[in-house]
Amino acid sequence: MSPKPEVPLRIRNYKTSDKTEVLALHKLALQSTGAWIDSGRWDEDLDHIGEVYLKGGAFLIGEAGGRIVAMGALRRVSYGTGEIKRMRVHPDFQRKGYGQLLLTLLEERAKELGFKKLILDTTMKQTGSQVLYLKNGYTEVRREHIKTANIDTDLIYYEKNL
């Protein structure tokens, strides 16, 4: 059983009206770890949340004090595989169990959808995410350095059998 967050967090499904706050949280959370790269094609999924995540997956929003402070998503990759994406917690609300709660709920949804395996990636700069995933039974499967005109980052890929 996952720990209860210290501050009440209301979890709900994404609504179209959340888009502006979701984009702001996405950017802020990445900036706080030094992992922010200017917006580009790698962020296009956030312009199409309904199509990418809500058909065969999930996009969860965590609210505290009337504002969005956490989010996480699940999308279908193949019949038996899902991908955890866009796990973000506002820097002021980290280390309160919010990321754990979202991950647990996304894993439960993945099982309901019949996924047998989950995959995900994170950057080397997101050390809190790395700890969370390892603590929850994800196994590192590879690393990759990506360098283009717009991107210079190191990624870690994980997977977990459900």
Could you tell me the pTM of the whole model? 0.89
Report the pLDDT averaged over residues 134-157.
85
Beta bridge partners of 73: 59, 85
CATH code of 110's domain: 3.40.630.30
pLDDT value at residue 27: 85
> Which one has a higher pLDDT value, 21 or 123?
21
Comparing 3-7, 115-119, 126-130, which segment has the lowest mean pLDDT? 3-7
What percent of the chain shows pLDDT beyond 90? Answer: 64
Q: Residue 146 pLDDT more than 90?
A: no
Helix (H, G, I), strand (E, B) or coil at 143: strand
Report the pLDDT averaged over residues 142-148.
82
Mean pLDDT for the chain overall = 88
The answer to whether residue 37 is domain-embedded is: yes
Confidence of residue 158 (pLDDT cuts 50, 70, 90): very high
Answer for the pair 26, 46: CB distance below 8 angstroms, yes or no: yes
- What is the tally of structural domains in the chain? 1
The answer to whether residue 137 is domain-embedded is: no
The answer to whether residue 62 is domain-embedded is: yes
By CB atoms closer than 10 A (0-12, 13-18, 19+), residue 12 is: exposed
The answer to whether residue 50 is domain-embedded is: yes
Cα diameter, the chain: 44
Comparing 12-21, 38-47, 61-70, 109-118, which segment has the lowest mean pLDDT? 38-47
pLDDT value at residue 1: 47
Cβ partners under 8 Å of residue 133, min gap 6 = 103, 120, 122, 158
The answer to whether residue 27 is domain-embedded is: yes
Q: Cα(60)–Cα(157) distance, rounded to whole angstroms?
A: 22
State the residue range of the domain holding 58.
10-118
pLDDT one-digit tens code per residue, 2-47 = 555 456 899 999 999 999 999 889 888 877 766 556 555 567 889 8
Q: For 65-136, where are the E strands, in sequence order?
A: 67-78, 81-89, 117-123
